Amino acid sequence: MSASPLAESAGQAPVLFQELPAGGGRRIGVATLNSPRTLNGLSLPMCRLLDDRLRAWQNDPAIAAVLLEGAGGKAFCAGGDLHSLYRAILENGSGQAWNNLYARRFFETEYRLDFLIHSYRKPLICWGSGIVMGGGVGLMMGASHRIVTETTRFAMPEIAIGLYPDVGGTWMLSRLPRGIGTFLALTGAQLGASDCMRLGLADRVCRSTRLEDLRAALAAADWSADPQAHARQVDHVLDGLCDSGPAQSPGPLQIRFDEIRAACDRADFDEIRARLLAWADHEDPWLARAAAAFAAGSPGSARLGYTLIARMRPLSLADAFRQEYVVSLHCTVQGDFQEGIRALLIDKDKSPQWLPATHEQADSHWVERFFRPPWPKSESHPLADLEG
């Protein structure tokens, strides 16, 4: 199928944009994350490109719907651009979070993009096939139509790098059945299509081979009706594509749902910690891996994730992003973010030296340092204008 002249060649552009001619004189906007070598890791330039184009398409009456996908077949998006953040952390020797200009720009731009997707005024379909982690979850979870496939690996594994489930992740996790979000934050456990559907993290299951069919069906649909009906038109298209998706057998989280809730729906962090560590030799290898990930992860990240999920429950999405922005900036000078990236991606020794080294040291008093505004008193919150 030919694209409009607006289509960009598949060179080095980190995000490719196409406008597919569609029925009723409309067009379908297609945005493709184009960094398969990094599993479409989300960089600052990618965030800026996406934000600019999505806003333009939202205001273009000829665009009926938008499709967001990832190049390469292995991942929709495996997370954020940690290498650039690491360099910025090293360059900021002041010990002051506000002095890291790159981190300020990155988190503000990424969170604004995620918030835009949540509030998008047109149907936005996210093809969440393959790896969907971290920043990829941030892009996917606000889409109006979230599609997973038999290859989907959905997770918020930030505990392994000394961060926490940001990009609105703590807000999302706080709205899952109590205890489930805490479990996912503390273990980084991976979910497949069935568990994503069970938790309301996805809307449809399609086969991973049907992306081109989806493009073609969206272009062939009649979009001449009132734009208010376009979301129903997307539903109609997906009804014809997704019925042939993989069988919805229960996923590992669904199988262990009651056991996980009983362990993690607790007001005392130490009780949750004891329950998780007790699963180290569990007969279910999925739960045993979750326990191992928790034991090896950053104690500070565990405390941050646990605390944020509790604090997010009464907040609006906009307030949640504002809270996460403060915490994320502090993570560039406090806690284990730098060390986690070093151990996993730079030196690759996979032997991080966490500080605090124990969960007892990363207590409820220690974590309060992450919630103080890092900017001068004369400054306002960079995300103060988010509405809703």
Q: What pLDDT, on the 0 to 100 scale, is given for residue 72?
A: 96
What's the pLDDT at 388? 67
Residue matched to tokens 């944009």: 17
Q: Categorize the per-residue pLDDT at 9 as very low, low, confident or very high, splitting at 50, 70 and 90.
A: very low
The C-alpha atoms of residue 304 and residue 368 are separated, in whole angstroms, by: 9
Q: What's the pLDDT band for 224 if we cut at 50, 70, 90? A: confident
pLDDT value, residue 163: 98
Q: What 3 state SS string does 131-185 have?
A: EEECHHHHHHCCCCEEEECCCCEEECCHHHHCCCCCCCHHHHHHCCCCCHHHHHH
pLDDT at residue 362, as a whole number: 97
Q: How confident is the model at residue 243 (pLDDT cuts 50, 70, 90)?
A: low
Predicted TM-score (pTM) of the model is: 0.95
Cα–Cα distance between 306 and 275 in angstroms, integer? 15
Residue 246 has pLDDT above 90, yes or no: no
Average pLDDT over residues 132-156: 98
Residue by residue, DSSP assigns 9-73 as PSSS-SEEEEEEE-GGG-EEEEEEE--GGGTT-B-HHHHHHHHHHHHHHHT-TTEEEEEEEETTS
Question: Cα–Cα distance between 228 and 1 in angstroms, integer?
Answer: 27
Rounded to whole angstroms, the Cα distance separating 184 from 190 reads: 8
pLDDT band at 7 (very low <50, low <70, confident <90, very high): very low
Q: What's the mean pLDDT in 49-69? A: 98
- pLDDT, the chain, mean: 94
What are the start-end ranges of the H helices in 265-379?
A: 269-277, 285-296, 299-312, 317-331, 337-341
Q: What span, in angstroms and rounded, lies between the C-alpha atoms of 8 and 28?
A: 15
Q: Is the pLDDT of residue 183 over 50?
A: yes
Tokens of 82: 């940690």
Q: Quick one: pLDDT band at residue 227, thresholds 50, 70, 90?
A: confident
Please give the pLDDT value at position 225.
Answer: 81
Task: Give the pLDDT confidence score for residue 12 in this predicted structure.
Answer: 81
Q: Are 51 and 114 in contact (CB under 8 A)?
A: no
Least confident of 16-25, 154-163, 179-188, 223-232: 223-232
- Cα distances from 110 to residues 73, 107, 148, 248, in angstroms, run 23, 5, 22, 33
Q: Is the pLDDT of residue 370 over 50?
A: yes
What is the tens place of the pLDDT at every residue in 355-364?
999 999 999 9
- Whether residue 1 is predicted with pLDDT greater than 70 in this model: the reply is no
Distance CA 305, CA 327 (A): 11
Q: Answer with the residue of higher pLDDT: 227 or 350.
A: 350
Q: What end-to-end distance do the CA atoms of the chain give, in Å?
A: 39
Both tokens assigned to 2 = 């030919």
Backbone angle region of 167, left / alpha / beta, with phi > 0 → left and psi within -120 to 50 → alpha? left
Range 15-371: architecture per CATH: Alpha-Beta Complex (3.90)
| pLDDT: which is higher, 2 or 135 | 135
Q: Quick check: 274 pLDDT over 80?
A: yes
- Mean pLDDT is lowest, of 154-158, 239-243, 273-277, for 239-243
Is the per-residue pLDDT at 36 higher than 80?
yes
Q: What are the extents of the domains in the chain?
A: 15-371
CA distance 171 to 379: 25
| Residue 245 pLDDT greater than 50, yes or no | no
Peptide bond connecting 356 to the previous residue in cis, omega within 30 degrees of 0: yes
Residue 3 predicted with pLDDT over 60: no
pLDDT in tens, 375-384: 999 999 999 9
Confidence of residue 247 (pLDDT cuts 50, 70, 90): low
Mean pLDDT computed over 140-159: 98
- Are 304 and 367 in contact, with CB atoms under 8 Å apart? yes
pLDDT confidence tier of residue 328, bands split at 50, 70 and 90:
very high
pLDDT in tens, 61-75: 999 999 999 999 999
* pLDDT at residue 4 tops 60: no
